[in-house]
Amino acid sequence: MAILGIVAEYNPFHFGHLYHIEKSRALGSADGIVCVMSGDFVQRGDCALFSKHIRAEAAARSGADLVLELPLPWSLSSAEGFSRGAVGLLGALGVVTHLGFGSECGELEPLWAVAEALLSPEADGAIKAELETGVSYAQARQAAMEKRIGEPAKLLETPNNILAIEYLKAIITQNLPIQPLTVKRQGAWHDSMNAPEFDGQLSIDSVAPMEDLPLKSASELRFLLAGGEDVSPYVPEYSNWVMRDAKERGLGPVTIERLESALLSRLRLLGEDVYSRIPGAAEGLGTRLCRAAWSEPTVAAVLETAKTKRYALSRLRRMLLCAALGVSSELGEGIPPYARVLACTERGREILRDMYGRAQVPILVKPAAVRELGPECEHIFTLGALAHDFYALGYPSPARRGGGEDWRASPARV
């Protein structure tokens, strides 16, 4: 069987995601779709608008067959760590034959060229030399690659290409027998807030002509949802239904603003030693964040005080969340030690049965069973469960903010 793996956040699941699933399914002649999805906190250094359980159900009702959680340390990692963990987990399942991802360029050859150049023995030294000029890491990396391979290095200017390159690096470094497939990104540009209006509803049966649709970016959809706006013209029917149901039950949308007081109070209780152990805390950055958190009145002010031209704001946001949620630098190494099922269809259950006996990591269906998997698995799961308890403090309904939900949650069966 051909099983397509996808790395995603689905924050929220929209028509661009549906297009990507169906286009990738066709390219790989896939018999099933397995997604590894970020949990309640995402790689941009933010909380997801809806919980991992809600987003996983939306994905399973909209085209995915099996949705697995990417645990917290990898969800809040750099693009490299995020990709290494997610692609490595797909490879460890023993059934995934293809990896599908979006990119701005839509071609594998130039993406391969950049990935291989970044993995060359000379790359680190060349990037370090550029860093000594005082530029950011992203600028140094691109400058070094332009000198080495020329035009393809410009792919490092756009976010989906960057992630695509990191996925390919993960395939190479882990020697995974997985065939990559890329689909050219359609519709609104990443983080665009000015997509054209679209009147009318679409279904999964109308995917073919979607190249011509004015799709909104996930960023704009999050902005609209957080403001109480209707996004039904831009998301699949079942995704809209799941989100609407969650809103009616007081389970979202959750924003960093809703969590701000809880986040600041947590950050102010931590000592400088904690900040020194979070991912990315080198060169005194952890200390800068610590002192800003102790003194500034808002999360935005903490970030503004701590930032420098050398570090991306998303890195600082991830660091703040890592400090608050107990993620230290050693936790995101390697790949996740287990595969937790968040949602599945009947086809997904068939894939699960095939995974047993083939997977190189244990498959976790019932949360309590993690206690039988050893201290590493239990520690990572507990970290995510506590993060979910923190996330729940942002639910609009106070009655829904109780703790322990992650330990009781069973996979959504579609």
Lowest model confidence (mean pLDDT) among 77-86, 120-129, 275-284? 275-284
Confidence bin at 194 (pLDDT 50/70/90): very low
Give 4-34 pLDDT, tens digit per residue. Answer: 999 999 999 999 999 999 999 999 999 999 9
Interval 220-252: pLDDT, tens: 999 999 999 999 999 999 999 999 999 999 999
Residue 272: what pLDDT?
94
- pLDDT, tens only, 79-119: 999 999 999 999 999 999 999 999 999 999 999 999 999 99
pLDDT band at 134 (very low <50, low <70, confident <90, very high): confident
Q: Tell me what pLDDT residue 213 has.
A: 54
pTM of the model: 0.93
Q: H helices within 271-364, ranges in order?
A: 272-275, 285-295, 299-306, 313-325, 346-355
CA distance 82 to 289: 22
Task: Catalogue all structural domains in the chain, each as residue range(s) with its CATH number.
Answer: 3-104+158-248 (3.40.50.620), 260-331 (no CATH)
Which pLDDT tens digit goes with each residue over 378-399? Answer: 999 999 999 999 999 999 999 9
> Is a pLDDT exceeding 90 seen at residue 136?
no
pLDDT number for residue 205: 40
> Between the CA atoms of 67, 163, 306 and 226, what dihedral angle is there, to the nearest 10 degrees?
-50
Lowest pLDDT segment from 157-171, 279-293, 330-344, 356-370: 279-293
To the nearest whole percent, how much of the chain has pLDDT over 70? Answer: 93
pLDDT (average), residues 275-297: 92
**C-alpha–C-alpha distance, residues 58 and 240, integer Å:** 8
Q: Which two tokens stand for residue 108?
A: 């594998």
Nearest to 288 by CA among 137, 130, 280: 280
Q: What is the pLDDT of residues 210-223, one digit of tens each?
A: 555 547 889 999 99
* The predicted structure's pLDDT at residue 269: 96
pLDDT for res 201: 34
**Averaged pLDDT, 128-148:** 91
**CA atoms of 108 and 281, how far apart (whole Å):** 34
| pLDDT tens per residue across span 59-77 | 999 999 999 999 999 999 9
d(CA 229, CA 227): 6
37 — pLDDT class (breaks 50, 70, 90): very high
With a cut of 90, say whether residue 263 has pLDDT above it. Answer: yes
pLDDT above 90 covers a percentage of the chain that reads: 86
Q: Which residue has the higher pLDDT, 201 or 290?
A: 290
The residues near 401 (Cβ < 8 Å, ≥ 6 apart) are 392, 393, 395
Which pLDDT belongs to residue 186? Answer: 67
Mean pLDDT of the chain: 91
